[in-house]
Amino acid sequence: MKASNTALAIVVSLQVHSSWQALPLGAGCIASALRADAALSGRCEVVLLDLSLEQDDFIAADTDARARLVVDRVRSLSSGRHCFVAFSVYVWNRTIFERSATILRQEIPEAVICAGGPEITALAAGSPTAFEYLVLGEGESSTRALLRSWLDGTLVKPLRNSGIRSPAEPLAELPSPWLDGTLDNTEAVLLHRGALWELSRGCPYSCSYCYESKGDKKVRTYPLERLESELEYFMKKGIERVFVLDPTYNANKKRALEILKLIKQKALNIHFNFEVRAELLDRELVAAFSEIPCSLQIGLQSSNPQALAAVGRPSDLKQFSKKIALLNESGVVFGLDVMYGLPCDTLATFRDSLDYALSLYPNNLELFRLSVLPGTALYEDAARLSLVFNPEPPYQVVSLPAFSAEDLARAEALARACDIFYTQGRAVTWFLSALAPLKQRPSRFLTEFDRFLQDRKKYPRNGVVLSHQEAEDLQLAFLDQAYHQKKIAHLLPALYDIVRFNGALTRALAEGEESTLDLSYHGEDLLGPESMDVVWFTENACMEHCTVRVFPTADGPDFEIL
């Protein structure tokens, strides 16, 4: 049946979080492409439906209830019009959208239901029959063609068995969902002043756990003219934080420097997050990063050479350390990613990886259990590698030959403890200094911190992020216990001051919070390099009561002695 002029196309996105990074960029690109298609103009309204699992009515609901909520939103928008519904399917929303599609087919049988996104492309023929049409690959061209066919009345029978595969899109010809206003009213923009900025598609590397592992290794880039216009848009819109979507930003050094120059010229009021390869850093690039507000996220994944080789990501750790040292020398903020459960991995090698990563002074450490994603080379090789994993999203590894389910649970507990103490606790400046008098490796210290949290039932509920002050209170309580057990409690006054003073400075920077602290040592002494040797500082610094006011300024945190 040919759709009427009142037709409606709804592109549905469901994010896992409500945050500045949880922005429906993939769905936005599809909606933008549909709106820009002259053949569709005036014949079909296009709506982007932006939902989040952290919205009030979704939080406590189970899968069926969440699916019902999605359907209710679609029905509310459709108001009886002929309806084309396109679901943007990811690991975290697949089961909800499957159920939503099933309900829609029952309640609005005349609606056309299609699905695209990483989960659909990965599963292809194995995708559930709840979705009538499958769009594989990047999606803009195929979704346009599908919608045109529906409006023209020439739509053929559902292609569930094979799907419609989009070609690699000509990026220079695609409309920008930022510049055409498609993403203006999303929660990430309106509430969190954040944006995702896509610079390229494709990756030159072959990490077997990644969707790109089976790609053609070609990187396609958006024109610099478009990127410059998007930067100007971000500034005009009051965007405060941008996550750069380019899996290896510095793979092309010349282009990386050109974009950093653009940012320096046009967007110094925005903080940018980049994903980079450490081995491709050099002094020129690091200097350019240091001239703009930014942080870098770097995939270490493991310090185990066998594990890295098994997933097609070999790394020279000596070279890696040297490159990270360039960042520390220049004061560039960076974080590291580490996976556990890789082939050839064990609990012991994961602990080694954690110790190595923390020795590099990352500002944050992201620790993940390996997910064996359908559509990746690792998925196809899982049986040979004896990887046992959950067949349902998020496809996490359950066990492997030298890494039992019990050991994986221990690794997960260690990762959680590290996140609370180190990352949420913002411990980078003093963490290794605090461990030195205890003569403990970080992994051992954090294992004991995990026991401390378990014994006192101090673990936050799953998914709950502590405030920094809450994390700091746990840090101080555990350090007090550890130092007393080692009979070095005389070092605690200096350590308390170091932790609390640095914590107040980070809160002034991150939250704009003002604090007043009563300290045992002078504030100037606590910020000197000597304070990083707690034993030497205790033996040589002069104790004196000091009241300090810490406060935010336009140039960063500052303090005054009262």
Residue-by-residue DSSP string for 468-484: HHHHHHHHHHHHHHHHH
H/E run at residue 253:
helix 253-266
Question: How far apart, in whole angstroms, are the C-alpha atoms of residue 201 and residue 198?
Answer: 8
Q: Which amino acid is at 92?
A: W
First to last CA, the chain: 78
Question: Could you tell me which of 274, 275, 267, 258 has the C-alpha nearest to residue 292?
Answer: 267
Q: What is the DSSP string of 363-386?
A: SEEEEEE-B--TTSHHHHHTTTTT
Q: How many CA atoms lie within 13 A of 366 on its CB side?
A: 12
Mind listing the pLDDT tens digit of every residue in the chain (562 residues)? Answer: 344 457 999 999 999 888 888 899 999 999 999 999 998 988 999 999 999 998 889 988 999 999 999 999 999 998 888 899 999 999 899 999 999 999 999 999 989 999 999 888 887 656 566 888 899 889 999 999 999 999 998 887 765 556 777 778 999 999 999 999 999 999 889 889 999 999 999 888 889 998 876 666 789 999 999 999 999 999 999 999 999 999 889 999 999 999 999 999 999 999 999 999 999 999 999 999 999 999 999 999 999 999 999 999 988 999 999 999 999 999 999 999 999 999 999 999 999 999 999 999 999 999 999 999 988 999 999 999 999 999 988 899 999 999 999 999 999 999 999 999 999 999 999 999 999 999 999 999 999 999 999 998 877 776 678 999 999 999 999 999 999 999 999 999 999 999 999 999 999 999 999 999 999 999 999 998 999 999 999 999 999 999 999 999 988 899 999 8
- Cα distances (Å, whole numbers) of residue 296 to 273, 300, 302: 6, 12, 18
Domain with CATH 3.40.50.2300 in the chain: 7-171
| Other CB atoms within 10 A of residue 549 CB | 15
153 burial level (CB within 10 Å; 0-12, 13-18, 19+): exposed
pLDDT computed for residue 319 by the predictor: 95
Determine contact, residues 221/171, Cβ cutoff 8 Å.
Answer: yes
Exposed, middle or buried, 236 (CB in 10 Å: 0-12/13-18/19+)? Answer: exposed
Say if residue 433 is exposed, middle or buried (CB neighbours under 10 Å; 0-12, 13-18, 19+). middle
The DSSP code sequence of 290-341 is HTSSEEEEEEEE-S-HHHHHHTT----HHHHHHHHHHHHHHT-EEEEEEEES
Residues in the chain: 562
Query: What is the Cα gyration radius of the chain?
Result: 26
The candidate with the shortest Cα–Cα distance to 417, out of 372, 466, 363, is: 466
Spatial contact of 286 and 248, defined as CB atoms under 8 Å apart: no
DSSP at 212 = G
Cα separation, 157 vs 415, in Å, equals 48
* Amino acid found at 239: I
The rounded distance, in Å, linking the Cα atoms of 473 and 425 is 9
Residues 383, 398: contact at Cβ < 8 Å?
no
**What class is the 7-171 domain?**
alpha beta
pLDDT score for 3: 44
Token digits for 257? 């420097």
As its CATH architecture, domain 193-397 has Alpha-Beta Horseshoe (3.80)
Question: What pLDDT was estimated at residue 158?
Answer: 63
As given in the structure block, the two tokens for residue 520 are: 């045992």
3-state helix, strand, coil split of the chain in percent (to 5) is: 45, 20, 35
DSSP code, position 437: G
CATH 3.80.30.20 boundaries in the chain: 193-397
For helices 442-455 and 405-418, angle between their N-to-C axes, nearest 10 degrees: 90
- Nearest in space to 140 (alpha carbons), one of 29, 226, 8, 47: 29
The single residue listed with the structure tokens 């770097």 is 298
pTM of the complete model beyond 0.85: yes
What is d(CA 207, CA 277) in angstroms, rounded to the nearest whole number?
13
